[in-house]
Amino acid sequence: MLVGPSGCGKTTTLKMINRLIEPTSGTITIGGVDARSLPAHELRRGIGYVIQQTGLFPHKTIEANIATVPRLIGWDKARIRSRVEELVDLLGLDRALLGRYPPELSGGQQQRVGVARALAADPPVLLMDEPYSAVDPIVRARLQDELLALQARVGKTIVLVTHDIDEAIKLGDRIALLNIGGVLEQYDTPDQLLAHPAGDFVRAFLGADTGLKRLNLLSVADVRLVDGPLVTTADPVELVRRVSEAHGTDWAVVVDGRRLIGWVSTHQVNGASRVAELDPSPFRAVVHTDTPLRSALEGILNSQTQVAVVTDEAGDYLGLVDIEAISAGVRP
């Protein structure tokens, strides 16, 4: 991610990669090869490029737009058609749109077509210049999620320009934060950028809510889990009172073996002899180790027990996470 205020050189840096702007000094290598050692047209055919407002040809159909680069490099019609259909399926577009023209599509659909066109010749590198700046926040968030899912499947090297630090944190594996005049203030992972800003400019650009931003980066696996007040269905009900008192609660987690059943209150135990005779309530916040801490926190705040219960994919109980654990986990 290349991020920073207007005039910091984000787009200029991006254009130097595919030599729309020629570097005056230094070296840009792609796959170990100096970009200036290749003819510019040959270099660009190996680099996908997605720009603001999509840059689609309005007089060409969606199919023709996507097929632009494959046609330039001489692919046959059958191969082009197969690739176009593969990409529209990959990006969740209806094949019925292939015969339409860009103005007939929504902003989000046009943006997906722009990405499909950039990926058509299967380039190893994809450049994206503020691709989502022209769409509304709801569509923008959906397109960001789709890009992450797409990247997990196609595994490209993506360089994306944005002025939005939240977008950079959400999408980036690495962030280059630039200042006016092309000054590199910090180059780091999103988590390190938030936890250890390199100076006053970085702190100001990140804003005051760095702890909240880190909640989206860290997962439940990054915090310490506790067993909490735990009983099994085979235990006597007296154990509910004992473990609850020991943990300062008025409830206990109920498991059958290790499988999560729910929770019971100390007020439910009168008249029963075994936990199996009680009627456990389901936990409102059940999460997994890969759940973002922000989602876990939202669940905790809406939970009667004020905890999130962590299970594995099979539903087996792993432990509890509470607000104190999350606070400790996001602390630098």
Are residue 171 and residue 93 in the same domain, yes or no? yes
pLDDT of res. 53: 66
pLDDT at 246 over 90: yes
- Please tell me whether residues 44 and 77 are part of one structural domain: yes
Q: What is residue 198's predicted lDDT score, i.e. its pLDDT? A: 94
CA distance 69 to 175: 29
State the CATH number of the domain containing residue 202. 3.40.50.300
Mean pLDDT for the chain? Answer: 91
pLDDT computed for residue 54 by the predictor: 65
Which structural domain, as residue segments, surrounds residue 199? 2-215
Q: What's the CA angle centered on 57, arms 54 and 62, to 5 degrees? A: 85
For residues 109 and 193, membership in a common domain is answered with: yes
pLDDT, one tens digit per residue, over 29-56 is 998 999 999 999 889 888 999 887 668 8
Helix, strand, or coil (residue 59): coil
The angle at the Cα of 239, spanning 234 to 241, to the nearest 5 degrees, equals 140
Q: What is the spatial distance between Cα 21 and Cα 148, in angstroms, rounded to a whole number? A: 28
Q: Are residues 175 and 297 in the same domain?
A: no
Q: Which two tokens stand for residue 63?
A: 């199919």
The pLDDT > 70 percentage for the chain reads 99
Q: Report the percentage of the chain scoring pLDDT > 90.
A: 67
pLDDT in tens, 122-147: 899 999 998 888 778 888 888 898 88
Verify that 304 and 241 share a domain, yes or no. yes
Final residue belonging to a domain, choices 215, 244, 267: 215
User: Do both 118 and 201 map to the same domain?
Assistant: yes
CB within 8 Å of 193: residues ≥ 6 apart: 169, 175, 177, 186, 202, 206
pLDDT in tens, 161-208: 999 999 999 999 999 999 999 999 999 999 999 999 999 999 999 988
Query: Does one domain contain both 258 and 187?
Result: no
Q: Are 322 and 224 in contact (CB under 8 A)?
A: no
* Residue for token pair 């009680």: 278
Residues 204 and 259 in one domain: no
b/e 58-81 (16+ beta carbons within 10 angstroms → b)? eeebbbbbbbbbbeeeebeeeebe
Is residue 30 located within the same domain as residue 142? yes
CB proximity list for 287: less than 8 A, separation 6 or greater: 220, 295, 296, 299, 308, 309, 310, 311, 321
296: pLDDT strictly greater than 70: yes
For residue 107, the model assigns a pLDDT of 85
Q: Which residues contact 88 (CB under 8 A, 6 or more apart)?
A: 62, 66, 94, 95, 97, 98, 116
Domains identified in the chain, total number: 2
CB 22 within 8 A of CB 43: no
* Beta strand 125-129 pairing with 47-50: parallel
> Is the same domain home to 31 and 180?
yes
d(CA 209, CA 31): 37
At residue 233, the pLDDT reads 95
Q: pLDDT category, 229, cuts 50, 70, 90?
A: very high
> Are β-strands 175-179 and 183-188 bridged in parallel, bridged antiparallel, or unpaired?
antiparallel
Is the whole-model pTM more than 0.75? yes
Q: Which of 198, 215, 232 is the last residue of a domain?
A: 215
Domain finish residue from 162, 183, 215: 215
pLDDT of residue 140: 84
CATH number, domain containing residue 306? 3.10.580.10
Packing angle, helices 77-90 and 137-154, rounded to 10: 120
Q: Are residues 310 and 202 in the same domain?
A: no
User: CA–CA distance from 274 to each of 109, 256, 261, 269 (Å)?
Assistant: 58, 13, 15, 9
Residues 298, 265, single domain; the answer is: yes
pLDDT: is 330 or 232 the higher one?
A: 232
